[in-house]
Amino acid sequence: MVTKQILRTWCTSLSRHTPNVRGKSRLVLALNRLLLPSPESACIVTAEMKLGYRMLVDLRSGTEALAAYTGDYDNEEVASCLRLLEADSVVLDVGANVGFWTVPLALRLAGRGQVLAFEPLPGNSCRLRDNVALNDVGRAVSIHAIGLSDRPDTTEISLREDFAMGSATGNAAIVIDESDRQFRCATIQVDTLDRVFDSLQIPRLDFIKLDIEGHEDKFLAGAVKVLSRFRPILFVEVNAQYYERRGLAVDAVFQSWLDSNRYVCALRTRQGWDLDELRRRRHRIDNVFFLPEERASDLLRVIG
């Protein structure tokens, strides 16, 4: 036990000072599997994140283990988004998971603004509450244990690779077809943002981070009135493989929404973030900003 702990500490120090070269993540996860502690309760550790916050993570979840060893989780993307927020901004974190975005967003708002975190999976939402408390940002965060979609319903969610070694937390995705049932599944409640918005009792909406494993188009379809009313900035983590499994071309799905709603898209380049059309970047779509076209130029300067 002590030897494994010493080795984990050494591997963590090494991985935090190693560039993100090809194969690094696979090596870190392989070492993590060899060094998993026992009993299982010891797999919950505190990760010191490079952006200055702390997270309780489960080493049995690959996504969380990488964060524990490297201190990284969407660091550049989070930093870009934080530049767009004022101290009193109102933010939605849709697909909040265990709080890797919720916590730094809340820290940026310093108690004056508000983060509304939506996470339907019980294990994730419970750990999310723990991480909000760990970072003392409870005054800025409200947690809603439902998913956001295009209609009120109950649906199944597949507990994917992160759960394979016994973790109660990790990335999960709405079931698309029978292939998803190779994973353990759970039933969750979903609703639309348009239906629940009035009950949230918030006067404004400035920013939405959206990462729901290929269900992002369904969220947009259920948020027409709210998005039209407030014209928030959206940061969307596009999971193209899920759209392809549904027989959809991801660039066409989102470009149609952008054109219909007078938004434009900013994609990452080597120089920073630049406006472009999704149809021209089909094979390189990952994380994207959706910016209201009337403010796009000004916002792009802020993002950098």
Looking up residue 110, the CATH number of its domain turns out to be 3.40.50.150
Question: Looking at the structure, do residues 143 and 109 belong to the same domain, yes or no?
Answer: yes
In a domain, 207, yes or no: yes
What tens digit of pLDDT does each residue of 129-149 get? 999 999 999 999 999 999 999
In a domain, 187, yes or no: no
- % of the chain residues with pLDDT over 70: 97
Give the relative orientation of helices 2-16 and 62-70 as an angle to the nearest 10 degrees.
70
Torsions phi, psi for 231 (to 5 deg): 50, 55
In a domain, 39, yes or no: yes
What tens digit of pLDDT does each residue of 67-83 get? 999 999 999 999 999 99
What tens digit of pLDDT does each residue of 9-32 get? 888 988 998 888 888 999 999 999
Measure CA of the first residue to CA of the last residue in the chain; give whole Å: 46
Question: Looking at the structure, do residues 123 and 221 belong to the same domain, yes or no?
Answer: yes
Q: How far, in Å, CA of 240 to CA of 236, rounded?
A: 12
pLDDT at 282 over 60: no
In a domain, 284, yes or no: yes
In this prediction, residue 41 carries a pLDDT of 84
Question: Looking at the structure, do residues 47 and 33 belong to the same domain, yes or no?
Answer: yes
The whole domain housing 59 covers 2-70
| Average pLDDT score over residue span 242-267 | 93
Q: How far, in Å, CA of 195 to CA of 180, rounded?
A: 29
Give the relative orientation of helices 2-16 and 24-34 as an angle to the nearest 10 degrees.
170
**Mean predicted lDDT score pLDDT of the chain:** 93
Closest by CA position to 111, among listed 89, 143, 133 = 89
Question: Looking at the structure, do residues 110 and 252 belong to the same domain, yes or no?
Answer: yes
Residue 87: count other Cβ atoms within 10 Å of its Cβ: 10
pLDDT at 1 over 60: no
| Average pLDDT score over residue span 184-205 | 96
Question: Looking at the structure, do residues 217 and 289 belong to the same domain, yes or no?
Answer: yes
In this prediction, residue 284 carries a pLDDT of 62
| Average pLDDT score over residue span 205-223 | 97
Question: Looking at the structure, do residues 139 and 255 belong to the same domain, yes or no?
Answer: yes
Question: Looking at the structure, do residues 62 and 101 belong to the same domain, yes or no?
Answer: no
Query: What pTM was estimated for this model as a whole?
Result: 0.94
Closest by CA position to 210, among listed 237, 187, 231 = 237
Label residue 160 by pLDDT band (50, 70, 90): very high
pLDDT at 7 over 70: yes
In this prediction, residue 57 carries a pLDDT of 98
Environment class of 202 (CB within 10 Å of its CB; exposed 0-12, middle 13-18, buried 19+): middle
Q: Which residue intervals of the chain are DSSP H helices?
A: 2-16, 24-34, 62-70, 75-82, 102-109, 122-134, 193-200, 216-221, 224-230, 240-245, 250-261, 296-303
Q: How far, in Å, CA of 171 to CA of 208, rounded?
A: 19
In a domain, 167, yes or no: no
Sole residue written with tokens 């009950």? 199
- Residue type at position 288: V
Q: Are strands 263-269 and 272-276 parallel, antiparallel or unpaired?
A: antiparallel
In this prediction, residue 271 carries a pLDDT of 76
In this prediction, residue 280 carries a pLDDT of 66
In a domain, 263, yes or no: yes
Label residue 230 by pLDDT band (50, 70, 90): very high
